[in-house]
Chain A
Amino acid sequence: MAERRTEVLVIGAGPAGLAAAAAAAACGRRVLLVDDNADPGGQIWRGEGRAHLAVPARFEVRCGVRVVDACGASAVLAESAGGVERLTFDRLVLATGARERFLPFPGWTLPNVVGAGGLQAMVKGGVPIAGKRVVIAGSGPLLLAVAAYLRSRGARSLLIAEQTGRLRLARFVLGLAGAPQRLRQTLELRRALAGVPLLTDAWPLSAHGAGRLEEIRLRTRRGERGERCDLLACGFGLVPNTELAALLGCRVEAGCVAVDEHQATSVAGVYAAGEMTGIGGLDLSRIEGEIAGYAAGGDERKARAGLGPRRRARRFARALERAFALREELRELPDARTLLCRCEDVSVGRAARYPSWRAAKLHTRCGMGACQGRICGAAAAFLFGWRCEHARPPASPARIATLAAQHEV
């Protein structure tokens, strides 16, 4: 197995990882940044990440490299089209980001019912959207960002269904008065979406169609209504990607990787930054990445300079969390036959018979498929209040040859 040694290894080239790599490089460290996507940028700058690299970048970026497991002390196991390698480091910054939370409702498994951020990612990858009728549903500011993007790419008609209440939303926007820049961003976004209906207290009840989506039923403030559409893009907030961190032994608390003041995890020499330590959006991810990068690079003074901005960004993150907290009624969306686990086709009703995630898993196979519970685990945590975790290697499906290479160390 090939071996690569670096001083600071950063995993994940989203805003947090890019900031961390730049900061660690500024400390004079040799830095390697790896990401499993074809290009840097993470979720928000998907495909345009190169533009966010300082040019010339003072660190090495390698894409198409997926880290799948720990590999002894101070090393990880990575696989790519070229094969398998062991990446050895003095310090590690994890910046593996987040995924969307999907909640089951009747029909959610129909083709063309997709993620909200997911649809944006697909369109960035070349999926044509021009002329399509799209309903965007779920919760959070991401819905608006996605709508604006899809509109700019020619989506024909759009409708946004935000589950949170009108009052809570209004209170949130008023609260932005203290943060003029965020208020400006919000108003700009709203302007970009002029003419696009934004329903609050609204969510999808069911999706219908023969083989693919044709129509959905929406719950709105005025009662139920049908809506014909080509795509339903849903996202009920984000879920931190903690699997790799857990495999490395980092403590995970309440679904987030636990970090100290300098973004250090419970494992010596391993830092974490960005959405994986708690959902907070772009600014917080960058600030955390910078702190982690300076801390990993050994410049504590510069790391500390980020503490103030991080405090403010976290305050905003908490306000967001309150404003877009998921409502109880969403737990009633699925009926007993609605699938919970899409990999193994396990219904909500079957899983509900068990007292815990582990029991449901072992007795129904839910969460045992290819996604290893990344989708149904987050849904089950919301529906049943279970603690759904999975610290078993590999972090994502890996070639057997990759796992077999581990003993060549």
Chain B
Amino acid sequence: MPERIALHVNGRHVEVDRGSTVLAALAVAGVAICRRSVQGEPRGALCGIGVCFECRVTIDGVAHRRSCQILCREAMEVRTDG
């Protein structure tokens, strides 16, 4: 069994396997909307490989982090503007 990691997505407790991306943690938490576009539309991940910037979230207070590129760490605090 892979090791599990616990973190928070919008204040909710989520567990994922070590090596999972933050995007995976969002999906596990049932969150499909990562951010609001400049006109306020809901947006989720698109490219999966770090080029489109649609999956941006706030991680530990730092804005504009690409959730598809960043691996989960224990006790991470993830916020979306969904």
Complex Cα–Cα for A126 and B18 (A): 9
A residues less than 8 Å from B48 (CB atoms): 114-115, 117-122, 125
The distance from the CB of A204 to the nearest CB of chain B, in whole angstroms, is 14
Once the chains bind, are B32 and A114 in contact (CB under 8 Å)? no
A residues less than 8 Å from B43 (CB atoms): 109, 111, 342
Q: Which of the 9-residue segments A84-92, A324-332, A370-378, A380-388 touches chain B?
A: A370-378
A79 interfacial contact with B, CB 8 Å: no
Once the chains bind, are B37 and A126 in contact (CB under 8 Å)? no
The distance from the CB of B35 to the nearest CB of chain A, in whole angstroms, is 10
B residues less than 8 Å from A126 (CB atoms): 16-17, 19-21, 23-25, 27-28
A343 interfacial contact with B, CB 8 Å: yes
Known: A99-B49, A122-B24. Contact between A370 and B64, CB under 8 A?
yes
B52 interfacial contact with A, CB 8 Å: yes
For chain A, the bracket of interface size reads 35 or more
Once the chains bind, are A109 and B37 in contact (CB under 8 Å)? yes
Query: Chain A 384-401, CB within 8 Å of chain B: the 1/0 string?
Result: 000000000000110000
The distance from the CB of B46 to the nearest CB of chain A, in whole angstroms, is 6
Once the chains bind, are A118 and B37 in contact (CB under 8 Å)? no
Query: Chain B 8-45, CB within 8 Å of chain A: the 1/0 string?
Result: 00000000110111011101100011100111011111
Complex Cα–Cα for A396 and B24 (A): 23
Once the chains bind, are A375 and B17 in contact (CB under 8 Å)? no
Once the chains bind, are A342 and B20 in contact (CB under 8 Å)? no
The distance from the CB of A123 to the nearest CB of chain B, in whole angstroms, is 9
For chain B, the bracket of interface size reads 35 or more
A47 interfacial contact with B, CB 8 Å: yes
The distance from the CB of B50 to the nearest CB of chain A, in whole angstroms, is 7
Once the chains bind, are B37 and A342 in contact (CB under 8 Å)? yes
A127's contact among B19, B24, B52, by CB below 8 Å, is which? B24
Once the chains bind, are A118 and B19 in contact (CB under 8 Å)? no
Complex Cα–Cα for A369 and B54 (A): 11
A170 interfacial contact with B, CB 8 Å: no
B58 interfacial contact with A, CB 8 Å: no
Cβ-closest chain A residue relative to B24? A126
Known: A118-B48, A122-B48. Contact between A211 and B42, CB under 8 A?
yes
B42's contact among A36, A102, A212, A375, by CB below 8 Å, is which? A212
Cβ-closest chain B residue relative to A119? B48
The distance from the CB of B24 to the nearest CB of chain A, in whole angstroms, is 3
Known: A121-B68, A122-B21, A342-B37. Contact between A43 and B49, CB under 8 A?
yes
The distance from the CB of A90 to the nearest CB of chain B, in whole angstroms, is 29
Known: A121-B48, A369-B53. Contact between A212 and B64, CB under 8 A?
no
A38 interfacial contact with B, CB 8 Å: yes
B residues less than 8 Å from A38 (CB atoms): 19, 69, 71
Known: A125-B24, A127-B27. Contact between A114 and B49, CB under 8 A?
no
Interchain residue pairs with CB less than 8 A apart (19) = A36-B50, A37-B50, A37-B69, A111-B33, A111-B44, A112-B32, A118-B45, A118-B49, A125-B23, A126-B17, A126-B24, A127-B23, A211-B33, A212-B33, A343-B38, A343-B53, A371-B53, A374-B51, A375-B47
Residue ranges of B at the interface with A (Cβ–Cβ < 8 Å): 16-17, 19-21, 23-25, 27-28, 32-34, 37-39, 41-54, 56, 64, 68-69, 71
